[in-house]
Amino acid sequence: MFTWPARVYYENTDAGGVVYHAEYLKFMERARTEWLRAFGFEQTSLLRERNLLFAVANMEIAFLASARLDDLLNVSVILEETKRVSLTLTQTITRNDPGGQVTPLIRARVRIAMLSRDFKPVRIPADLLNRLQPLLDGQPWIIKH
């Protein structure tokens, strides 16, 4: 599991002081981007050097509890499946509460598709799939900085 920390700022909240529902999508997008970066694949490089990009093709999301201003969240990414042109991920957002309790806030299943620069589905490059394969095999992985 890859986890990315996120802080809730005033700009993320609605008039009621809770995180506006669309903001969770931003937190998950950032975590997916950093997850790819951890494997040596930056979105900008994929586009610039290979004319490829990932786009969300489908998302199922469950809102379980609300986050509030100044909460520190953990946004996780778990690779569930690879196909020729897409990856299926499970993403969760949790909050560490006082006393060490972890509260699940969001649970989502996300399918991202590989697209060409002109937004047509294309095969995911073999080198990217090869780097991700150990995750599906249950092998530990090391992030290269």
What does the pLDDT look like over 69-91, one tens digit per residue? 999 999 999 999 999 999 999 99
| 3-state secondary structure at position 139 | coil
Does the pLDDT of residue 51 top 50, yes or no?
yes
Reply yes or no on whether 14 is catalytic: yes
pLDDT value for 139: 59
Strand partners, 87: 82, 112
Confidence of residue 144 (pLDDT cuts 50, 70, 90): very low
Q: What architecture (CATH level 2) is domain 2-133? A: Roll (3.10)
In whole angstroms, give the CA distance from residue 42 to residue 33: 7
Does the pLDDT of residue 98 top 60, yes or no?
yes
| Catalytic-labelled residue, pool 14, 70, 97, 127 | 14
**What's the pTM?**
0.90
* Percent of the chain at pLDDT exceeding 70: 94
